[in-house]
Structure 1
């Protein structure tokens, strides 16, 4: 049984707070941070378990109603493609997946920072495409919340409804990929010591993020979040290239 790394737990809390406020979900921060401490297979397994608690917290705390139409149009393809992405992880070396993750984060952040006016038309076709891409990315790389967030932003939902609907979709994604990662052998016995702490952190971080969200304009904080994603992507890329 490994010893607890308290710095990692603190960074996991920060990831949950930032993910709640920025609207991307915590995995976009948690996955590259966890990757500094664990092998990539363990990161995927821990992320799925951690997110189950995180998303239940968001559903409870932001319960101002769900958008059932988006839940179907984005949620169903997300669940299908997270399973596909999760199964494909067995076909790639973890080093390649880490490299894909680093490039994904860097490109994602740069596109959103440079193309501030970037929008997706609010229709069923784009909702299904966005759900498919976010699910596939979540299964393969551990994070797909930013793609789903961009897709959902097109529908101009009220803030609480946005977070609750996104969290419910994310919960379905995490529930599905937890089984895939388990059968892939990504959930390791030595890592389970972190699970109780991460479940508590998921709830506490969501509560703190919700409180902060009341005082910070969403558009300004998203730029800060994107800047952090860019930095994390560059750190991840550097680690992969130097390893």
Structure 2
């Protein structure tokens, strides 16, 4: 009964998170990973999110594959794939390190681990970047695409938070809306596929013990449905209230992960 309840709760979370991404300006990985980390170990939460993110972007590519701008995709994507490998390896390394400390937060046993410290800090940093709208900086120009790819790919492999760095660079590459979505999705597929190969080998035993194909299928379907409902309900609009709410949630979840409470 507990597993069924968990199954339903996470599927509903995936639906809600996918819906919110349409209106908040945040990527699916940024919102979904800390939510799943409430129920699973952080490395597994990152891997689950990578799989859902991959499927979601493949769905986008099926619809918009003809509008991919390959010069931009390759100039950014090739360095991103190369950098995703050490990023994913670092995640596996940090996951094997012993806890730093543990304590009781009221009646909750909080375990502070190196991987939680890194991911928690990154979530707080990315929330701050979004809050300050750093994407408007002149640094994010087309000539810096390879550098952006390296940064985005590394952090994508480490924590899945690749969109926070990828999006500002692509927005300044002269792409229209369809080209941006398709090119962005093509790069994400390359990075997600690369890091999932490393996660799959390293976390194989954990995948087998805690996940099933039906579980992953349900999360993917819930995320698809959330996107479709959001699109049908309204065209993508950046609601400032929702943006600020999501940023606050990222600060909150990032702090809880950093402190080992989740």
Q: Which category describes the TM-score, using the shorter chain as reference length? A: 0.7 to 0.9
- Structure 1: which 5+ residue stretches go unaligned? none
Question: Pick from 221, 233, 244: which aligns with 1:200?
Answer: 221
Asked whether the 8 Å contact 1:137–1:143 carries over to 2, the reply is yes
Superposition map of 1:80-229 within 5 A: 80-93=82-95, 95-115=113-133, 117-124=136-143, 126-185=144-203, 188-189=207-208, 190-192=210-212, 193-212=214-233, 214=235, 216=237, 220-221=238-239, 224-225=242-243, 227-229=245-247
The 1:105/1:236 distance shift into structure 2, 3 A limit, reads closer
User: Following the alignment from structure 1 to structure 2, what is the Cα–Cα distance between the partners of residues 224 and 17?
Assistant: 11
Which residue of 2 is the match for residue 40 of structure 1? 42
Asked whether the 8 Å contact 1:23–1:163 carries over to 2, the reply is no
Bigger radius of gyration:
2
Which residue of 1 is the match for residue 106 of structure 2? none
Which residue of 1 is the match for residue 104 of structure 2? none
Aligned length: 239
TM-score of the two chains, using structure 2 as the length reference: 0.80
Asked whether the 8 Å contact 1:77–1:128 carries over to 2, the reply is yes
Please list every run of at least 4 consecutive aligned residues from structure 1 whose deviation after the TM superposition is greater than 4 angstroms: 20-23
- Structure 2: which 5+ residue stretches go unaligned? 97-112
Which residue of 2 is the match for residue 18 of structure 1? 20
1:149 Cα deviation after fit? 0.8
User: Following the alignment from structure 1 to structure 2, what is the Cα–Cα distance between the partners of residues 53 and 64?
Assistant: 18
Asked whether the 8 Å contact 2:94–2:115 carries over to 1, the reply is yes
